[in-house]
Amino acid sequence: MQNRLFEYIEKFVSLTNDEKRAIETLNMFHEFKKGTVLLQEGQYSSDAYFVLNGCLRTYYIIDSEEKTTEFYTELEGISPKCVLSKEPSEYFVSCVEDSIVTISNPDMENEIFEKFPKFETLCRIISEQLLAKNQNSFDEFKTSSPEKRYLNLLQNRPDLIQRVPQHQLASYLGITPQSLSRLRARLS
């Protein structure tokens, strides 16, 4: 799995053998079973996650109902807001599938940045891309009908249709599972 991470990093910066060894010594590769909750609402955390294999989901519980805000699959990362704010998390992060994830924290990142300054540049580039992606997703969600959101999902992330339970997918689209079933039937 670390080779997969190295290949991803090398899309942005080249790595020396010393840099690869430094990453390997951080003990950041972890396996989790489907259903594992990595972060709970109200929990303090300094952990950021990067999915090497599997699927993570962020969601809120509002009036006893789960509201899914995002799915993170292979080669996608999430740095929960509570990491920067140093306040309790407002949402949950859990594994939709068995997953292999890297977990890092600011101390690990600072250690690597001191030894290898190009990693700070790498993190800036990835953060800028993530910010742009999140802004596009937010704008699209706010300006689209449920049907348009579903069609967009089919076009841009068709893997989620097979990987994610229907009730979580419906929540992500901002509709009920029954509405999603009717929408699917109408579009078939």
For residue range 90-115, what is the model confidence (pLDDT) as tens digits? 999 999 999 999 999 988 888 888 88
Number of other residues whose CB lies within 10 A of the CB of residue 57: 24
* CATH number, domain with residue 19: 2.60.120.10
What's the confidence (pLDDT) of residue 40? 98
What's the confidence (pLDDT) of residue 169? 96
Q: Averaged over 168-176, what is the pLDDT?
A: 95
What's the confidence (pLDDT) of residue 118? 85
Q: Is 139 part of a structural domain of the chain?
A: no
Q: Is the pLDDT of residue 22 over 90?
A: no
Q: Is 58 part of a structural domain of the chain?
A: yes
- State how far the alpha carbon of 66 is from the alpha carbons of 1, 49, 58, 121, 153, in Å: 31, 21, 10, 36, 20
Q: Tell the residue number behind the tokens 């076009």, with chain if given.
A: 155
What's the confidence (pLDDT) of residue 164? 97
Q: Percent of the chain at pLDDT above 70?
A: 99
Residues 138, 159: Cα–Cα separation, whole Å:
20
Q: Is 136 part of a structural domain of the chain?
A: no
Query: Model confidence at 186, in pLDDT bands (50, 70, 90)?
Result: very high
3-state secondary structure of 110: helix
Query: Residue 8: what are its φ and ψ, rounded to 5°?
Result: -65, -50
Q: Find all residues with CB under 8 Å of 181, minimum gap 6, and list them.
A: 166
Q: Is 49 part of a structural domain of the chain?
A: yes
Q: Is 144 part of a structural domain of the chain?
A: no
Q: Find all residues with CB under 8 Å of 61, minimum gap 6, and list them.
A: 41, 67, 92
Q: Averaged over 130-145, what is the pLDDT?
A: 88
Q: Is the pLDDT of residue 1 over 80?
A: no
Q: Is 114 part of a structural domain of the chain?
A: yes
Q: Is 103 part of a structural domain of the chain?
A: yes
Query: Residue 59: which domain range?
Result: 2-118
What's the confidence (pLDDT) of residue 62? 96
Q: Is 164 part of a structural domain of the chain?
A: no
Q: How many domains does the chain have?
A: 1
3-state secondary structure of 33: coil
Full 3-state SS string of 22-88: HHHCCCCEEEECCCCEEECCCCCCCCEEEEEECCEEEEEEECCEEEEEEEECCCEEECCHHHHHCCC
For residue range 42-75, what is the model confidence (pLDDT) as tens digits? 999 999 999 999 999 999 999 999 999 999 999 9
